[in-house]
Every structure is written in structure tokens, then in C-alpha cells.
Amino acid sequence: MELTVKKAKLWMEALNEKIQKHKEYLSELDQAIGDGDHGVNMARGFQEVMNKLSDADYATPSDLLKDVAMVLMSKVGGASGPLYGTAFLKMAMATKNKEKLTEEDLTLAVEEAIKGLEQRGKAQLKDKTMLDVWIPVHHYMKQNSPIDWGNLEATAKGAMEATKELLALKGRAAYLKERSVGHIDPGSVSSYYLFQTLAETMRE
């Protein structure tokens, strides 16, 4: 299964819907270990993404992903805007000029996104950030060809849930030290939604 421009747009629509629906939940999670705005940040950002995509045509998924990146970087404050912006920009750059993205292309795109996130946020695996979802998902993609998208979704979900027991070492949650343990990382949940909706799109 390949990711076309049409599918990339469907992915962003599904992700936006998921984020709008769970906006309060994302902010509640951030209330526990941050400043309580993750749902608001993501909902505003993806609403702007939808506005941008609705009146644009794209030749390649890369062009679409680049616009997503630009919107998120310019419209979303906090840590998550620049981080997700970087992730989408790196995915766009990794897939430049390709009309359709194969699973191999997507795997490479995720790998580049992770490099961008690491560079920008200086976090590592187990620091209790969105990387704790991105890295295991990438690992799964690299190990499985063809990708079983149901298993990929389960991998993302398990990785998201596993952030609960981690001690935060990056981001606002790190100020809480031991008190950050016992709460799921909000950015891991939004990243889970990102991969969940990608999996849904690729299965259809």
C-alpha cells in the first residue's frame, strides 16, 4: 500500500478529527505534568492545517507534508509546535519529488523525523517525550516488511502507555522529577494518534 497525495490528505483529516475529539483529554494529561495546553495547542494547529489543505492542490505528498510543517511551526506555540513542525518538515524533505510513498519511503521519512526531533529537542529514548512513541514505531517499521499496520498501531499504543512509568527528563514535565512518574506523556498520546490515523489510512 502506498501513500498518495489523496491519502496524505485523508491522513491529516483523520488526525485532525482525532485531535479535536480528544482535545480535552490531551490538555488534562498536560495539566498533570505540564501547563495544561497540549490539547489546545494541537487542536488550534491542526485546525489551521485543515484550513491550509482545503484550498490547496499538491503534486506530491512531500509538498503537502511541507505545508503541514509550515503551519505547525508558525501557528503552534510551546514545545510541540516546533517539534511537530520539524518532524513533518523532515518527512517532507526525505520524500521530495516522489508521487507515491512506499512503506520503505515512509520508514525513511520517520527515521529522518526522529533525527530532526532529537536535534531540536535534545531528548533521547525513555526521557518521557513523544520520541518514546516515534522510536519504537520506527523500529517496528524497519523490522517488518510488509508492514502489518494493525501491529504498528498496537506498537504505538503500547509505547504511549509505557510512558506512564517513565521519569521525565525533558520538557516541562522534567521540573516535576519523581512526581512525573505515573502519568502518560501528552505528546506521546498525540503521536500515537498520528500513527494510529496513518495506520487506518494505509489499511483502507
Which residue has cell 518538515? Answer: 89
Give the x-and-dash track for 91-120 against ligand ADP (CB under 6 A). Answer: --------------------------x---
C-alpha 14/C-alpha 139 separation (Å) is 24
Q: Which is nearer to ligand ADP, 80 or 107 (CB)?
A: 80
Establish how many alpha carbons lie within 13 A of residue 38's alpha carbon, considering only the half-sphere containing its beta carbon: 30
When CB distances are held under 5 to 8 angstroms depending on the partner's kind, the choice from ligand ADP, Mg ion, none that residue 197 binds is: none
- The angle formed by the CA atoms of residues 135, 138 and 47, to the nearest 5 degrees, is 80
Least Å distance, CB 188 to ligand ADP, is: 6
Q: Which is nearer to ligand ADP, 54 or 122 (CB)?
A: 122
**In the Cβ-directed half-sphere of 200, how many Cα atoms lie within 13 Å?**
15
Cα 203 to the center of its chain, rounded Å: 18
The item of Mg ion, ligand ADP, none sharing an interface with residue 183, based on CB under 5 to 8 Å by kind, is none
Say whether residue 85 binds Mg ion (CB under 5 A).
no
What x-and-dash track marks residues 22-61 binding Mg ion by CB under 5 A? --------x---xx-xx-----------------------
Task: Find the binding residues for ligand ADP in span 160-189 (CB under 6 A).
Answer: 170-172, 185-188
Q: Are 128 and 175 in contact (CB under 8 A)?
A: no
Quick check: 123 binds ligand ADP (CB under 6 A)? yes
Which amino acid is located at 162 in the chain?
Answer: A
Residues that bind Mg ion (CB under 5 A): 30, 34-35, 37-38, 78
